[in-house]
Structure 1
Amino acid sequence: MDLQAFVDPNLPEADLIVLKHLHRDIANYEATNAPSSSGKEDTNESATRRKPHAEAAAAAAADSNNEEAIITQLDALNDPSTSSFEPTVFVTFDMGYLRTKLHPYIYKHLLVPYIAIARRIVRVDTDVVMLTHLLLYFSTSVPSAILLYRHFTYIHGVLHWIMQSYYVGTYTLMMHQHIHMGGILTKSNPLIHAFDVLFPYLTNPLMGHTWNSYYYHHIKHHHVEGNGPDDLSSTIRYQRDSIPDFAHYVLRFMFLVWIELPLYFFRTGKYLLGLKAFFWEVGTYISIAALYRYVDARATIFAFILPLFMLRIGLMVGNWGQHALVDEEDPTSDLRSSITLIDVASNRFCFNDGYHTSHHLNPRRHWRSHPSAFLRSKQQYATERALVFKNIDYIMMTVKLMQKDYLYLAKCLVPIGEMQMAMSLEERAEMLRSKTRKFSEEEIRVKYRL
């Protein structure tokens, strides 16, 4: 498969629009900067060779004029007041697909009424999918866990763990939206709002999350420090294509975050946050230990302990992929210390998690707004030499870094800006390699003005 040319047809509609636009930029650049004809060639041949340049210039001008129209089109998909509005109902299928593939009776009498009801329940009209997934988890994960404790079998335990492992990526990014927005369901109904506040205390441990720790670590810590020297999940002190360094990074988080995060809050004078973080983290451990000791050890292993270890590894693999490529000149820039992925796993199944740079630029930006925000800021991304990839997710990003397969990563890179577009494939690979180098303590002091 030609990674540079391939566009995954399973991408969300907004991603296909964004990627088509970026590919057009590349095509225009290549046509405009094709080798010019020699002065020794006759006039007719020179004119013929110059024709693509003129056409490319005209196309570029047309693209510039159309860019606002594309952004308007993307915004309209998110705006309930427009006829183009399309909520997300399922992560797997867009509304256009459902309209054409579902039986008309099912679409009209089941799906449309469900969407109408769901829009009154969810916080944001686009987020019908959040209710869909809550219904999924409370009809599968929760009953399955209860049944494990009532009548345990190893087959059920393994199948339950596999199911939770399949769910956890989407669930975690749903909770990512939850902690950034202070909920995903409407506040107008007290009962629904109460459920919105309370359901994570049941579902989080089943997915491997400890109570409230995602909020304290991600919102109150990671977004404050931004992969800087005081970020407990920072990558800058590691050689980011080194297996031993990566193992140290994962193991440190897995076994020490329970104490390091509270100590961070204490050091920064946020004593109440430190106490809360410690209470909820250790409280989860104690609760799981009690279930193991006094209820059913085997059920607890499959329902809580294995998901906990799996998620901790997954979170660090993902964060490493998000922040492994750090600019050696300005690591403090959000545009240069994080990346953007246009891929199915991140954006279709995980609520546009691939737009990580956009998320760091505005942590409260709604997940559906990332594609249009990216296009609005495309020139800034290009000027700052931000990195955009396709056909790769964060897990494979980490895997390829461990393999030091920079040529593969270069093939996945979508060059933006003339500097990246002018590079050969090998030059792009070396450029990516340069961004995995470990920062010395002296460099950190200088770059971060400590």
Structure 2
Amino acid sequence: MDKEIFFDPKLTRDDRLVLESLAQDIRVQESRRNTKSSAATSKAAKPTGSDEEALVALMESTNTPGTADFEPTVFTSWDYADIDWKKPFNAWVLAPYVRVARGIVRKETDVVMLTHILLYFTTSVPSALALFFWHFSWLHGIAHFVMQATFVGTYTLMMHQHIHMRGVLAKRWALFDGLFPYITDPLMGHTWNTYYYHHVKHHHIEGNGPNDLSSTLRFQRDSLPHFLMYLGRFYFFIWFDLPLYFMRTRKYVLAGKAFFWEMANYSFFVTLFRINPRATFCVFLMPFFLMRLGLMVGNWAQHAFVDHDEPDSDYRSSITLVDVQSNRHSYNDGYHTSHHLNPLRHWRDHPKSFLKGKEQYATQGALVFHNIDYMVLTVRLLMKDYKTLAKCLVPIGAEQIAMTMDERAAFLKDHTRQFTEEEIARKFNVKGGASATTMAK
């Protein structure tokens, strides 16, 4: 079965190490089944504890400033070690930038975040200002939206780190660090502070449980009508649902803040639309509609597979992607189970944490995929294409590895089954009743 694993040449180094480790585990399990001398085969094939400890130590070293192996992330598309530092531009321009940037960002690994903040303030912001105050053309407006569409994924996951760590820049830059999202968030389709209130103050509290506004439990996750209901509820009612949730949980200050900022942002859009409707449509409204679709498609995939025996387990209600797009360009967002296990875990530490806890992931029946991103995963689910999803599954643990492709497909399909209110009441020890609402990542 390890032959089904595809090693994309664009994988990050850490993803490749994780995937190679999982592939080796599959070979070991298959060797045990295919030989009478399982003990001898295991000894010959299985990586020793010291091998995996060495991988973890390498990841730790590259993440730790002051070590010989330390590598900050400067760009999403190129790894630090792959940059030719002997080239004149890299030696005389890029290297000094990295040295200065390491003192500006909150974590020295996160030079890439300053790189992207500079990118947005030299492209998105001037382009938006030009559309509003210099000259509007539909060609420029559509080109601006296309540019933003290429930015929103990486930006959102940078802000994901921002809202969990309460900033991405060093403390002396706290004023700018706190204020720049009020400029860039609406340009990328976010409304002011809603991501923070929903994701940190709500989603991680409820954890895809029955009271989570973004819970997938009450939906059949391979059903297009169910997904459209899920999406529609978010689009039209999140402004009301989130403050109402905080009211129900007696968090009245949060309810007021969530409602205020959402209404303030909508008022901002309405005001600008009256002044310049075409520019407002291209600069703010199209990214807004795209972002809300993207958040729901992503969250649907992240929590589409839920184990009916233990739906309250982070291991069994979320997934891990060892994937190019989610991890290379979106700050290891594929390691969603690791994030739920520890929401404050730094994004560079997810692969290391996964390797260290790999046996626990296997014991708990966690799901790991590769060669598929969240967006494509959602599409494949809605197509009921379990054959492709089964091929993208990286089985972990003896039980999953022993499955045939057909068994994998059936296994995944069972994990998308809608929960009844009776099941929810029994599994979560709550009264059934409320229908699911929306939003989150």
- By how many angstroms is 1:107 displaced? 2.1
How many residues were matched structurally?
428
Partner residue of 1:221 out of 194, 202, 206? 202
User: Structure 1 stretches (4+) deviating beyond 3 angstroms?
Assistant: none
Partner of residue 389, structure 1: 369
1:179-218 aligned at under 5 Å gives the runs 179-187=163-171, 189=172, 192-218=173-199
User: What does the per-residue CA deviation read over 1:277-329, in whole Å, with 9 as the maximum and x for residues that have no partner?
Assistant: 00001110001000001x20000000001110110000000000000000011
Partner residue of 2:155 out of 166, 171, 184? 171
1:11-50 aligned at under 5 Å gives the runs 11-36=11-36, 50=37
* Partners of 2:418 and 2:41 in 1: CA distance: 45
Alignment of 1:146 onto 2:126: no
- By how many angstroms is 1:88 displaced? 0.2
- Calculate the aligned-residue CA RMSD, in Å: 1.2
SS at match of 2:147: helix
* Partners of 2:128 and 2:11 in 1: CA distance: 33
CA contact (8 A) 1:3 1:412 kept: no
User: What does the per-residue CA deviation read over 1:34-91, in whole Å, with 9 as the maximum and x for residues that have no partner?
Assistant: 154xxxxxxxxxxxxx5x862442331x432311111111111100121000000000
- By how many angstroms is 1:29 displaced? 1.2
- Answer with 1 or 2: which has the greater Rg: 1
CA contact (8 A) 1:339 1:357 kept: yes
Partner residue of 2:315 out of 335, 347, 362? 335
* Partners of 2:140 and 2:81 in 1: CA distance: 37
Alignment of 1:112 onto 2:134: no
Letter in 2 for 1:88: T
1:193-272 aligned at under 5 Å gives the runs 193-272=174-253
Structure 1 pair 3–218 and aligned structure 2 pair: CA distance change class (3 A): farther
CA contact (8 A) 2:5 2:394 kept: no
Alignment of 1:372 onto 2:356: no
Partner of residue 76, structure 1: 61
* Partners of 2:34 and 2:147 in 1: CA distance: 52
User: What does the per-residue CA deviation read over 1:232-258, in whole Å, with 9 as the maximum and x for residues that have no partner?
Assistant: 100000000000000000010111000
CA contact (8 A) 2:152 2:188 kept: yes
SS at match of 1:341: strand
CA contact (8 A) 1:406 1:429 kept: yes
1:382-421 aligned at under 5 Å gives the runs 382-421=362-401
- By how many angstroms is 1:122 displaced? 0.2
- By how many angstroms is 1:32 displaced? 1.9
* Partners of 1:385 and 1:407 in 2: CA distance: 20
Letter in 2 for 1:411: K
- By how many angstroms is 1:3 displaced? 8.2
Partner of residue 86, structure 1: 71
Alignment of 1:436 onto 2:416: yes
Partner of residue 304, structure 2: 324
* Partners of 2:262 and 2:119 in 1: CA distance: 26
Letter in 2 for 1:214: Y
Letter in 1 for 2:55: I
* Partners of 2:411 and 2:35 in 1: CA distance: 24
User: What does the per-residue CA deviation read over 1:146-203, in whole Å, with 9 as the maximum and x for residues that have no partner?
Assistant: 000121100000000000001000000000000000000000x2xx210000000000
Q: Normalised by the size of structure 1, how large is the TM-score?
A: 0.93
- By how many angstroms is 1:20 displaced? 0.7
CA contact (8 A) 1:3 1:391 kept: no
SS at match of 2:368: strand
Partner of residue 44, structure 1: none
